[in-house]
Structure 1
């Protein structure tokens, strides 16, 4: 079994109004050291071993459902996990 951590973020070229709002709020709380905020999504998936390559499965899931590849980038980390 694999534990997969998927991180999805807006592409650098895409405006992030939610990140801008958080940055503004941080500045209003006197955290002026913050120069930029980008908001994203984090998902954990448990995937059983199969005959298919786990990386192939994850890329397919990200590109078909988990990320909007037109405006978002994704990355993932794969760990071997013990089934519970």
Structure 2
């Protein structure tokens, strides 16, 4: 069965105040980094899934929206990349 690397990114919706992002931005400005704005902090989750692509895509969508994020407050994006088969060597 093919294996896939799933990368899930979760961010607060733009309409939700991001106190952690504001704190980081304030600290960076105090350090002299004044050319930045709208800093937001989120989370990135990586996992490996095995199976047929269509089933894995459906599973990832469910995991991302029902477990890894709160759809009321957060936006979620995810990517799925097929991993190389470790059993296939380069012949050398």
Using the size of structure 2 for normalisation, the TM-score is 0.84
Q: Kindly provide the CA deviation profile for residues 22-71 of structure 1, in whole angstroms up to 9, marking residues without a partner as x.
A: 00000000000011110000011100114862221111001221001110
User: What does residue 17 of structure 1 align with?
Assistant: 19
Q: TM-score, normalised by structure 1?
A: 0.91
The unaligned stretches of length 5 or more in structure 2 are 87-92
SS across alignment from 1:22: helix
Match of 1:70 in 2: 72
2:27 matched to 1:2?
no
Moved over 3 A (4+): none
Give SS of 2:67's match. helix
Equivalent residue for 1:35? 37
State the structure with more CA Rg: 2
Gap runs ≥5 in structure 1: none
In 2, distance between residues paired with 1:73 and 1:18? Answer: 16
